[in-house]
Amino acid sequence: MAGKYGVLGKAGDVPHLLKKEKTYPARDQLQSKRKVTAFNPCDFLTEWLYNPRRPVPLFLLLSEEQAALLIQAFWRGYKAELREVQLGH
């Protein structure tokens, strides 16, 4: 590594030298065991359809009118509860 670039050499040489010295054995073994396969849309669809997914957010399911009614009902309930707490019931 020593040479005209100093004690450590140039930065671009470091990954190549480390690979030569087998400093990354776990990564190298993982890459050698991993199979390279083509994308299969049927496998993707099967996994997407049959594996559990997060539920769709409520704001995407409600219309604007339904969302307004839900917010208004929550607000009326909150205000009524707040009045009861202030009255000491």
16-to-12, 27, 28, 59, 61 alpha-carbon distances in Å: 8, 14, 13, 51, 53
Question: Of 19-23, 37-41, 63-67, which range is least confident?
Answer: 19-23
Residue that wins the pLDDT comparison between 3 and 74: 74
Phi, psi of 86 (to 5 degrees): -70, -30
pLDDT at 83 over 80: yes
Please state the pTM of the whole predicted model.
Answer: 0.39
Domain boundaries, the chain: 1-36
- Give the pLDDT confidence score for residue 88 in this predicted structure: 80
- Return d(Cα 58, Cα 69) in angstroms, integer: 14
* Average pLDDT, integer, range 15-27: 57
78-to-66, 73, 82, 86 alpha-carbon distances in Å: 18, 9, 6, 12
Residues 69, 70, 75: CA angle, nearest 5 degrees: 95
